[in-house]
Chain A
Amino acid sequence: MSSSTTATPPSRLSLFWHKWRFHINVLLLLIPLGFMPKYFSEAALFRGDAGLGEREVGEVQVGPWSLRLAEFRDEAPRLNGPVGHMKHFNAALCQSCISQVKATYLRIGKPRSLRAAGVIFFGSPYRMGALLPVPQKTRPDAELWITLEGWDGSMHQASIPLSQASPATVAWLKSQGNRP
């Protein structure tokens, strides 16, 4: 640039800006491009490519029956608006107990009765899901209780430590300072 004779030469930068300022919005395309891997991994998760969920908790024996429990996402409970923090668990009933089990429930802490058994699972017995509310003041050493109700009117319960069901949730609870 032979601009030595100019009093106030436009800088290279401002020339560049003037030439391209209305094309910079092309960069907004980076947003969907950046989220694309996330989008496809989510689609695969919902399609069940990774099994019941991101982290399999394992088989839990509940009386005569058993179920396979999994964390849908291997992460802390998600804030769900005014409802509070929710943790998504998936479960599958054992093949032989599908015809006998009427309902499956999940609760933090021991339920006092069947009517307070917690959240009920929805969906096929091969893959059912439940959104468990996890209050921020939950103690990290709490127990997760699974209640199975039979068509014959029977009820069976089992519990596993929350730390076994979801280490991410316990880590999150600890980081909440366990406020009373």
Chain B
Amino acid sequence: MSKKSRSKLWFLVHSWLALPIWFFVLIVCVTGTLAVVSQEIVWLVNPEMRASKPSDDAALLSYDQVVAAIKQAQPQTQVQSIVRPDESHFALEVGVTYPDGRPDKIYVNPYSGIIQGSAPTFNFKGFTRALHGWWLVPFTNGYSWGWYLVSLLGLPLLASLVTGLVVYKRFWKGFFRPTLRIRHGARIFWGDFHRLSGIWSIWFIAVISITGTWFLIEALLSDNQISISSAPVIPVVSRESVPLSADGTAPPQLNLDRAIEIARQQIPGLETSFVSLPGNAYSHLEIGGRGWYPLMFQTATINPYNGEIAASRLLSDRTALEFVTESMRPLHTGDFGGIWIKLIWFFFGLVLSMMVLSGLLIWTKRTALATANAFKRNQKPSREARTSSLLQPSIHRESPEGNL
């Protein structure tokens, strides 16, 4: 095969990768872009989610102080978990249950302990993630088929990146001489746009497609009961270590701040951005937070009666493979370094969405028109029928790819 026809083949492959499913790809890109900043959007819309400082020198409350504040405001409400979001402008998210059996997530001010409100009934963050992640197809037994549908897109995306770089000769020159011709018609503009945004998004498309493909592999592994986890199964608190009480009521449990102190003494550098209270008399208290490597969490599982660390899951416990696989999700979502990383992911998410759209526009402006014309001419058995065949290699017409 000649070099020229091989390039043409690559070009055709590149054109066809997303074309038949362009709208699906576009919506997945757009919802993914929204999902990156979904928490921030809820924050903008919902003042109850904001952590406003009552005064400049206000200090953050400890976990016990937060629990005490909730107990004082709502003595009957039971606290299950407390999450301190990464960014300081977010209020604490506390999982609670009311006496009527309703679970809820409430926003608590981290400085004053005031319950600012409940999470809205419509969970925008959850909805955009469900739409983007599994097309809303419910999970019944194992992964939903919607998850497979979406994560399969990682493969054509990766192939688009590779073929795009192959057909775009000497693409690195585009970094030094960026071209975006505005006055040469829509076809030229969208072509320039597609190439320019493409080269600047190489890293992002690689990250999204590789991590997206990982989601496919993850589902395949899980649905075939293959585990690569090195995390041990933690046994419940033994019957013997739960103290008996003489008066027939629950024995005192360690308070949260004390448990955190004990854990931190034994695990230097353990951050505690979330606390999950024991689920029953025989279950543990779990605390955790990000380690020095911001893409992964470290946790400690603590006996709530004597403070003994039943288990811990630290960065050093992970295998090399787990370092890679557990990094996949934060790399995909951009949720590992605060608002600026999220905004970068959001921006490139928009660019990627525009690339799907511009790819389609290029195709309609070129191939589709040419095909449609050729088709029309076919209906008249005149001399045009013979010339119509000249339109077939339409990728050559007035396009930079014609120089292939």
| Contact surface of A with B, Cβ cutoff 8 Å | 3, 5-7, 9-10, 15, 18-19, 21-23, 25-26, 28-29, 31-32, 35-36, 38-39, 42-43, 46-48, 51-52, 78-82, 90, 92, 95, 99-100, 102-104, 115, 120-128, 150-153
Contacts and interface: CB of A to CB of B under 8 A. Distances in A.
Contact of B282 (A6, A22, A120, A128): A120
Interface residues of B, number: 58
A126 B97 contact: yes
Nearest to B144: A35
B375 A32 contact: no
B22 A38 contact: no
Max chain B CB contacts within 10 Å: which of A10, A32, A43, A48? A32
A38 B141 CA distance: 16
Interface in B36-61: none
Interface stretch (B6-14, B123-131, B156-164, B203-211): B123-131
A10 B377 CA distance: 11
A23 B245 CA distance: 70
Interface in B9-43: 19-24, 27
A115 B375 CA distance: 78
B101 A51 contact: yes
Contacts of A52: 101
A38 B134 CA distance: 14
A32 B131 contact: yes
B248 interface: yes
B247 to A, nearest CB: 8
B249 A79 contact: no
Contacts of B233: none
A133 to B, nearest CB: 15
B103 A79 contact: no
15 contacts: A6-B380, A18-B372, A18-B375, A22-B22, A32-B131, A35-B135, A35-B146, A36-B136, A39-B136, A47-B102, A47-B103, A81-B142, A92-B101, A103-B282, A128-B280
A3 B281 contact: no
A47 B142 CA distance: 22
B101 A35 contact: no
Contacts of A22: 19-20, 22, 363, 368
Contacts of B281: 102-103
A161 to B, nearest CB: 24
A108 to B, nearest CB: 20
Contact of B279 (A10, A32, A36, A122): A122
A75 B380 CA distance: 63
Given A18-B371, A19-B372, A150-B248, A25 B21 contact: yes
A119 to B, nearest CB: 11
Contacts of A32: 131, 135-137, 146
Contacts of A3: 379
Contacts of B231: none
B252 to A, nearest CB: 12
A31 B247 CA distance: 57
B141 A78 contact: yes
A104 B279 CA distance: 12
Contacts of A46: 103
Contacts of B135: 31-32, 35
A122 B280 contact: yes
B225 interface: yes
